[in-house]
Amino acid sequence: MTKKKQLLGSLFLLLAAFVWGVAFVAQTEGMEYVGPFTFQGSRFVIAVIVLIPVMLISDSIKKKQGAYIPLTKEQKSYHIKGGIICGIVLTVAANIQQIALQYTTPGKGGFITAMYILFVPLAGIFLKKKVSVKVWLGVIIAVTGLYFLCINESLSVNKGDILLLLCAIGFTFHIMVIDKFSPNCDGIRLSIVQFVTAGIISVAIMLIVEKPQISDLLSAWLPIAYAGALSCAGGYTLQIIGQKYSTNPTVASLLMSLESVFSVLAQMVILRNIPSSREFIGCILMFGAIVLAQLPDKKKNI
């Protein structure tokens, strides 16, 4: 894989982190009107509605350019299999996170969720994926940065914190399955199948346990629309394409963990909440960790 594609993959993951960071505000606002399964189910449905026209337009452009290659039966089957697996894992992780936000503070939520940057390389060891020393150092610096960025209160554990830890494990598996399927899949098609799967499961649970009113959905339409169109359709598709070109899942997780930094910046701009000096130190450490992980390895003299 060329350095240009790796750089492009890193850029896509960085954009995904930005979109997710801003979405933190939308998720918080949306929960004022609807339950967690309603919020997640609605955003997944919107993501599918947005991505299908994007796929059709993309195919049309490729056909006019003579670059369109239809998928074989085996490739279609692989997309469906990968999308369903990714969708199930995403459903579990995203809904646990949304439920947990009802019981814990946003600061602790951001820190514990982003612990996937530690879990991903640990999972990679079991899958025999080599992680360099500089990447491990980047992970340690990033975890430290997340602590400064997100934790301002005393360290206590409640039900929400435990759920968020499970959520972080869920997103670890999501990153790993995306790493497995994305290299051999069309990003948009894999994303559509993923969101169809997540949408069906979340909406089914929503109808059983929450039974939302139309008025509630209308009150929350703006945060749901942002979370569905940009955070889901945009962010998770960027993740799939970015991981397709990225060097390894550990570096990808470090880039995506910048979601915490962007969430602080979004709160500062949108909610007029100025970060403290402690939070600024956290942001600096996070960016430093990303830069370190992206530095090229020294060539050994032969």
Q: Residue 89 has which token pair?
A: 């894992």
Q: Is 1 helix (H, G, I), strand (E, B) or coil?
A: coil
Is this prediction's pTM over 0.95?
A: no
- 81-110: per-residue pLDDT in tens? 999 999 999 999 999 988 987 887 666 666
Positions of the chain with pLDDT under 50:
300-302
Give me the phi and psi of 294, to 5 degrees please.
-90, -10
Chain position carrying tokens 């503070």: 105
pLDDT at 72: 93
CA distance 114 to 168: 6
pLDDT at 302: 40
List alpha helices for the chain, DSSP H.
3-30, 36-65, 73-100, 106-113, 116-126, 133-150, 159-181, 187-209, 214-219, 221-226, 237-245, 249-256, 259-270, 277-294
Contact present, 245 and 8 (Cβ < 8 Å): yes
CA distance 228 to 220: 12
pLDDT at 1: 57
pLDDT at 300: 45
DSSP 223-235: HHHHIIIIIIIII
Contact present, 159 and 105 (Cβ < 8 Å): no
pLDDT at 273: 66
* C-alpha distance from residue 167 to each of 115, 140, 171, 172 (Å): 10, 20, 6, 9
pLDDT at 10: 86
pLDDT at 108: 65
| CA dihedral (16, 203, 181, 163) positive or negative | positive
pLDDT at 271: 65
